Amino acid sequence: MPIQFSTARRAPARAEVVAHGLTVEALTGDGPLPAGLDSGDLGRLGFTAEADQVQVVPAEGRLVVAVGLGPADGVDPAGLRRASATLARAVRGRRSLALDLASVTDVVPGPEAARAVVEGTALALYRFGYKSTKDEDRLAKVTLVGSTAAGVRTAVDQAVAVVEGVKLARDLVNEPGGSLTPPKFANRVRRMARDSGLTVKVMDEAAIKRARLGGLLGVSRGSTQPPRFVELTYTPRGRPKGTLALVGKGLTFDSGGLSIKSGVGMMDMKMDMGGAAAVVGAMSVLPVLAPRCRVRAYLPMTDNMLGGDATRPGDVLTIRNGKTIEVLNTDAEGRLVLADALSVASEAKPDAIVDLATLTGACMVALGPRIAGLMGRDDGFLAQVEGASARTGERVWRLPLPADYRRMVDSPVADMKNIGGPHGGAITAGLILGEFVADGIPWAHLDIAGPAFADGDDSEATRGGTGFGVRLLVDLACSFTPGG
C-alpha cells in the first residue's frame, strides 16, 4: 500500500519516530535543539550533522532521529530528497514517522521542501521482485510537521501523484522482457490511459505496415512478438497553451539482433524501454496536475531478437518520412524505431518535441551512470528542459550536435547509415534522430542510458529501473512555454 502523507503543526502523539533535520550550524550554535536531542550526546555518538548522517536516539515511548543536512548554505531540494531517502531506509521497520520541516523552510520554501521529502521518502522504499517470501516495509504514515498552509498541502498531493508515476515507470522497466512483451506493454498502457482519462490509440502490426513505419518493422523482423505503436494524448480544459510531444524508445528486450550482445551486455536489457516507461509514467500524472498545454506521446514498442528473418547488416530501411537508413549494426536499433516515432510526431506539428531513450553506451562513457545527455536544437527549448532538470534533480548535461559530424553517418547506398565511427557515438546517434524531426520544430533528445537503471540503492533511486525522466517531463509539461 502507498505511504499516506499528511501535514500537521506538531508531531502526532502516536508517531513512533520523530525526525529532525539539522544543519551543521544548528548543531554547533548556541540555540536549543529540538526536544529529545542534545548536542553533547550527539557529539559523543559521532553525529556532526554532515549530509546524509542519521542518528537514532531512544526516547520514552518513541525514537527521535537526527538527520544531517550539512552546512545551511548548501541545503537544497536535492539534498532534502537524499536525506529523506536515507532516513526512510533507516526507519523502514517502523509504522509511523513525523518529519520536522521547520528547520529547513528558512532556506528552502515550504512547498519545495515538502515535495522533495515526499519523493525521497516514498521512492527510497520502492521494491520490485518475484521472491516467494517478501520483507514488507511497515512504514505506512508520514506526517510533515511545520506548515499546514494550502501551498504545502498541494505540494504534498502533487508529489504523491508524481511518485506513483515514477513507480509505474519503475515497474515497467523492472518487468522481465519475457513477461512485458510489446503487446502486453501496449495493453498495460491502454489500461492506464483509460483509468487516467487519457486518449489512447494502439496500432497493431497491420496498422504499423499501413503507416509505413519501416524502422519499427525492420527491428521487429527477428521477433515472434508483434510490434505495437501507441499514441497517448492529454488535453487540458479550456484552450491549450501549445502542444508538447513526448517520444519514448520502447524496446522491451534488446539482444542486439544479429549483431548480438555479449552475455553480460544482455543481462539488464529488459531496461531498454526505459524511455517509453518514463513517458508513460509522466503521462499518467498529467490529469492530476493539469498543465495548460496539450501533451501527445508516441511510443514504438518491439523487442530486438535473432529470428530467421531478422534484419541483416547491410539491409536498407525506409522510415516514415521517406528517408532511408543502411543498417550496419543491428544493435543500434533504438534510433531506427525513434526515427519513425519522431516522423509521426512531427506530422502533428507540435510546438516542441522531446524524446527519451536508453540509446548509447557512449553517453554513459561520457557522463557516467547518473547524468543524461541532452542534445537538440532551439536554445530556448533546451533551456526549458535544463530548467526542469534543475528543479527536479534529474540531471542532464548538454552535448553538441556539430553539423560537420553529419558526414560520419554518410552511406554510399542510403541517405545515412545507422552508426558512425568509433568515437562520438552519442552525438552521431543524436544527429541521426535530428534527420526525422521536421525543420522548425524545437527538439530535445535525452540519452538516458546511464540514469535509467541503477546497480544499487542510491538516494531515492533503488536497484533496477529508476524511473528517470518522469519528474523532469512532468515539470516540463507544467512549465512549458511555446516559443520560450
Every domain of the chain and the residues it spans? 4-147, 162-479
Question: What percent of the chain lies above the pLDDT cut of 70?
Answer: 99
Q: Mean per-residue pLDDT for 201-212?
A: 98
Q: How confident is the model at residue 133 (pLDDT cuts 50, 70, 90)?
A: confident
Of these residues, 335, 395, 417, 471, which one is catalytic? 335
Q: Is the model's pLDDT at 423 over the cut of 70?
A: yes
3-state secondary structure the chain: CCCEEEEECCCCCCCCEEEEEEEHHHHHCCCCCCCCCCHHHHHHCCCCCCCCCEEEEEECCEEEEEEEEECHHHCCHHHHHHHHHHHHHHCCCCCEEEEECCCCCCCCCHHHHHHHHHHHHHHHCCCCCCCCCCCCCCCCEEEEECCCCHHHHHHHHHHHHHHHHHHHHHHHHHCCCCCCCHHHHHHHHHHHHHHHCCEEEEECHHHHHHCCCHHHHHHHCCCCCCCEEEEEEECCCCCCCCEEEEEECEEEEECCCCCCCCHHHHCCHHHHHHHHHHHHHHHHHHHHHCCCCEEEEEEEEEEECCCCCCCCCCCEEECCCCCEEECCCCCCCHHHHHHHHHHHHHHCCCCEEEEEECCCHHHHHHHCCCCEEEEEECHHHHHHHHHHHHHHCCCEEECCCCHHHHHHHCCCCCCEECCCCCCCHHHHHHHHHHCCCCCCCCEEEEECCCCCEECCCECCECCEECCCCHHHHHHHHHHCCCCC
Closest CA to 120 of 404, 459, 481, 360: 459
Q: What is the pLDDT of residue 68?
A: 94
Is 167 a known active-site residue?
no
Mean pLDDT for the stretch of residues 25-54: 88
Confidence of residue 17 (pLDDT cuts 50, 70, 90): very high
Asked if pLDDT for residue 197 goes beyond 80, the answer is yes
Decide if domain 4-147 falls under CATH 3.40.640.10.
no
Higher-scoring residue by pLDDT: 421, 210 = 210
Average pLDDT in the 428-438 region?
Answer: 98
Residue with the three cell numbers 519503475: 170
**CA nearest to 372, candidates 398, 354, 401, 339:** 398
Of 138 and 89, which is predicted with more confidence? Answer: 89
pLDDT tens-digit map of 231-288: 999 999 999 999 999 999 999 999 999 999 999 999 999 999 999 999 999 999 999 9
Work out the mean pLDDT of the chain and round it to a whole number: 95
User: How many Å from the N-terminal Cα to the C-terminal Cα in the chain?
Assistant: 41
Which of 261, 292, 398, 463 is an active site residue?
A: 261
Cα–Cα dist 46/65, whole Å:
14
Q: What does CATH list as the number for 162-479? A: 3.40.630.10
For the question of residue 323 being annotated catalytic, the response is no
Percent of the chain with pLDDT over 90: 88
Does residue 154 have a pLDDT over 70? yes
Q: What is the pLDDT of residue 245?
A: 98
